[in-house]
Structure formats: C-alpha cells, structure tokens
A = this chain, B = another copy of it.
Amino acid sequence: MNNVEFSFELIAQDDRARLGQIHTPRGIIDTPSFMPVGTQGTVKGIFTDDIIKTNSQIILGNTYHLLLRPGIDILKKFEGLHNFMNWQKPILTDSGGYQIMSLSNLNKIDVKLGAIFRSHIDGQKIILSPEKSIQVQKIINSDIVMVLDECPPLTDNKKILSNAIKTSTKWAKRSKIEFGINKSKAIFGIAQGGLYKDLREESIEKLLDIGFDGYAMGGLAVGEKQADMFQILNETVENLPKDKPRYLMGVGTPSDILGAVNEGIDMFDCVMPTRSGRTGLAFTWEGKLNLKNSKFKDDKHPLDQNCDIRHLNKYSKSYLHHLIKSDEMLASMIISINNIYFYQQFMREIRINIKNGTFKNFYKKYIKYFD
C-alpha cells in the first residue's frame, strides 16, 4: 500500500473511445478495463495468482453475497476481502442493488429504510439501507464503492423507471454522505432510466449534482437488444464528465464491450468468461468455440498458442473436449483462465488501437466476430 490518491487520467481519445488510467493505492487500472467477477470472494475456479497472470488489474466483489456469506464479522476479522481471498490488487464492489432485484426474495423497496428482502440462502429477512451497503463495502475494504441503487428489471414503463430514479437519487446522496471523505478510495454513482434518453439524462444530472469519483450506467444488460443498449449509450454517455471513469455494469460479450467502448465507456465487468468456461465455451482469436462439439475430438491445437499461463498452450482442444465429456473440473479451470486471459488481451488490443488512432478498424473487424 502507498499514499497514491484515487484519480483518473484520460490519456488519449479516438473519436469517443477513451484510453485512460485509474490510479489507486493498490495499483494502476488501464482503461478500457475488464473486471473479472469474484462474487463470493473467488473468481470461480481460478487461483488469484493466475488472475494476476491474465493481466487483470482489478476484480469485482458482490456486497449482497459477501454480506450473507461469510458475513461482516469474518470480513472484519480479516480487515477486508483482499486478505480474506488473497488478492492484493484493487477491488470494486457493487452495492447489492442488482442482486436484490435478481436473486433475493425482494419484499419491498422502502425509500427510507432501504431494500427489504429475504436471503436466497436461508430466507433470513434483511434490510439493506444505503448506509448499510456503504458500511459493508467499507468492511470489505473495497477500493471502488458503488452507491445503493434501485435497479428495476427491463421495462418500458416510464413511471417505474422514473420512480427508480427518484429512489436511486435519494439513496445515492445518502451513500455519498456515508462514504464520507477518503482520497485513497472512490465512490461511483449509478445512473438509471432504462432505454429512455430523457430519463437517463435526468438521472445523470442528479448524480452530477451530488458529485462522484466515477459514474456507472446501471439497469442495462438486463435483457434489452444490444442495438438498443448501444443506442442509449450513444445518446447519453457524453453527458458524463470527461475527467471521470465511466462504468457499464454487468457487460458483457466481447462485442458488447467493443460497442460500448465505441460510445465512451471505460470499465466493464461480467461473469461471462468464467461462466462460459464452466460450460465448455472458449473465447479465442478464432472466435467463440463450443468445445463440447465433437469436431474438436481430435484437434491437437491449443486454444491459444501464445498463452503459457499454467502451460495452457500445452493442452489441446482434443484433451479439453475429453475433459468436458468426462465432467472433469480441470476443463472449467483451463477454459476459465483462457477466457479471462482472452478478455484481457482483447482489452489490451482495444487500448493499443485507441492509442494508435486505429480503433474504428478494430471495431469493424470484431464487432460481429464473436456472435
């Protein structure tokens, strides 16, 4: 740890695509950045030193999950998640808003009290207020803290979306107050508003009034079409301040990321590389490969000739096909590392192309490549 303060530096721009660096006491994050997801205090199936070898510079933890298990007493005892899970680089934690909507048995949203829900593990009734979410994120010792928001499911009902903005704005304010002042860490606001330009703009404006270290687009990647997501980003991302990082939550496929970078987004997180890894789906420069497919049965080539993490380039597709068919854990382990490594290579290529002013060519080449 050192005395570096949290800051964002915009290094270069190629049309709207941005090259930047986030500075934190736990290390630099080159943007556009992809954050592997470590929901329960582990990026599924990968040792932390291998996550580092994939060139990941930050991972995401889930406040909702960690609050339920291991719980705050254990996290306090370890002085946070970094020590608990043996990962000393930066951690961003979401606030629980999205998981409460998607996973828990949500009882109700009470603007004053917070989200009232039942745990998906043991049915226990829990009230998560904005203050509580930030307190938990502080106990996690998160480097980038997210405000508690109300994240409605996909809807075109303006009233629902508008109400969610009202609640989210109030909660954002209270989250900011609870966060207080801590220059070595950051708190990000989360904009809602579904696919409506006017609502997004309203939400962003209100967050700007409060003032955050970074801004996230929430309530996207919840089932809408990719073109609709790109469209709303195109219409509203430019309303975000140039000198702060912009984070699109829960996104996505390589082409989702590419299209969002094209609209000026800097940060991403998604379970896709690890979840796909566990089902035998590999991301490679040849495209997306379903290794269950019998066409790989006697393919002696590795997924990536150049990836020598854990000697991954010595494992053939034929062997991986065999491991998947045999329901062997090693398949998930190999393909998960491969996929995170691929995502990080992909982000690196995005950054190089922005720097060189060749992003549009890269964009055109790969925007449909992984479909």
List the interface of chain A (C-beta within 8 A of B). Answer: 40-42, 44-49, 69-70, 73-74, 77-78, 84-86, 297-298, 300, 310-311, 314-316, 318-319, 322-323, 325-326, 328-330, 332-333
Q: Are B333 and A74 in contact (CB under 8 A)?
A: no
Closest 3 CB pairs of A and B: A70-B322, A40-B326, A45-B329
| Cα distance A155–B39 in the bound complex, in angstroms | 50
Q: Are B78 and A300 in contact (CB under 8 A)?
A: yes
Q: Are B44 and A329 in contact (CB under 8 A)?
A: yes
List B contacts of A45 (CB < 8 A). 329-330, 333
Known: A49-B310, A311-B86, A333-B47. A74 touches B328 (CB 8 A): no
List B contacts of A329 (CB < 8 A). 44-45, 329, 332-333
List B contacts of A325 (CB < 8 A). 69-70
List B contacts of A322 (CB < 8 A). 40-41, 69-70, 74, 84
Count of identical protomers in the assembly = 2
Residue of B nearest to A318 (CB): B74
Contact among B42, B49, B298 with A73 in the assembled complex (CB-CB below 8 Å): B298
Residue of B nearest to A49 (CB): B311
Q: Are A85 and B319 in contact (CB under 8 A)?
A: yes
Nearest CB on B from A157, distance (A): 36
Q: Are A298 and B333 in contact (CB under 8 A)?
A: no
Q: Are A42 and B297 in contact (CB under 8 A)?
A: no
Nearest CB on B from A81, distance (A): 10
Residue of B nearest to A310 (CB): B47
List B contacts of A84 (CB < 8 A). 316, 318-319, 322
List B contacts of A47 (CB < 8 A). 310-311, 330, 333
List B contacts of A77 (CB < 8 A). 298, 300, 318
| Cα distance A315–B83 in the bound complex, in angstroms | 9
List B contacts of A314 (CB < 8 A). 86
List B contacts of A41 (CB < 8 A). 319, 322-323, 326
Q: Are B297 and A74 in contact (CB under 8 A)?
A: yes
Nearest CB on B from A334, distance (A): 8
CB-defined A-B contacts under 8 Å, sample of 30: A40-B323, A40-B326, A40-B328, A41-B323, A41-B326, A42-B326, A42-B328, A45-B333, A46-B330, A47-B310, A47-B311, A47-B330, A48-B311, A49-B310, A49-B311, A69-B326, A70-B322, A70-B325, A77-B300, A77-B318, A78-B300, A78-B316, A78-B318, A84-B316, A84-B318, A84-B322, A86-B314, A329-B329, A329-B333, A333-B333
List B contacts of A48 (CB < 8 A). 311
List B contacts of A70 (CB < 8 A). 297, 318, 322, 325
List B contacts of A330 (CB < 8 A). 42, 44-47
List B contacts of A86 (CB < 8 A). 311, 314-315, 319
List B contacts of A85 (CB < 8 A). 319
